């Protein structure tokens, strides 16, 4: 069982020759391009410390992540992504994400906030802390945006 000690919210946006290359470049911009992302569901463990900056991560490591990503090869399109968490006083919480083409950064942020409120309310909880990161980009040729909550030791 992986028991993460830290979590960090990151985001990035980039162009690329293809949508996949744009996604890779956005991951690099977010600081998580040289690791393997293992997508997990949206629960924040209570004992995880949230940090503002990533520690150096070993290249090729497999790390759990909750993320939203949007890629497009439609020049002029606006693409946006957001991820955030809501935590209770004991540290337990949920992580929610949203993204889309034609959505503004404000829209994806508000949707993440709504999802956090709904998920905690379903559990009979209210957040004591909410943090959200987001990114928006106007596509030039091929672009991608990513917002992620990465867990590590």
Enzyme catalytic residues: 36, 41-42, 97
Give the C-alpha separation, 147 to 85, whole Å. 12
Give the C-alpha separation, 54 to 50, whole Å. 10
Q: What would the two tokens of residue 68 be? A: 């939203």
The answer to whether 121 and 110 are in contact (CB under 8 A) is no
The answer to whether 57 and 63 are in contact (CB under 8 A) is yes
Give the C-alpha separation, 75 to 88, whole Å. 42
Question: Which residues touch 74 (CB under 8 Å, ≥6 apart)?
Answer: 101, 139
């Amino acid at each position: 069982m992986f028991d993460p000690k830290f979590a960090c919210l990151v985001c990035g946006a980039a162009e690329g020759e293809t949508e996949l290359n744009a996604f890779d470049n956005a991951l690099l911009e977010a600081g998580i391009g040289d690791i393997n992302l293992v997508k997990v569901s949206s629960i924040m463990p209570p004992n995880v410390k949230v940090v503002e900056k990533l520690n150096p991560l070993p290249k090729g490591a497999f790390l759990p992540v909750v993320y939203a990503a949007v890629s497009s090869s439609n020049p002029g399109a606006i693409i946006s992504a957001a991820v955030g968490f809501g935590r209770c006083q004991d540290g337990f919480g949920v992580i929610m994400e949203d993204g889309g083409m034609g959505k503004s950064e404000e829209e994806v942020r508000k949707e993440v906030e709504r999802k956090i409120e709904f998920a905690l309310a379903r559990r009979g909880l209210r957040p004591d802390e909410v943090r959200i990161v987001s990114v928006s980009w106007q596509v030039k040729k091929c672009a991608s945006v990513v917002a992620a909550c990465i867990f590590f030791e």
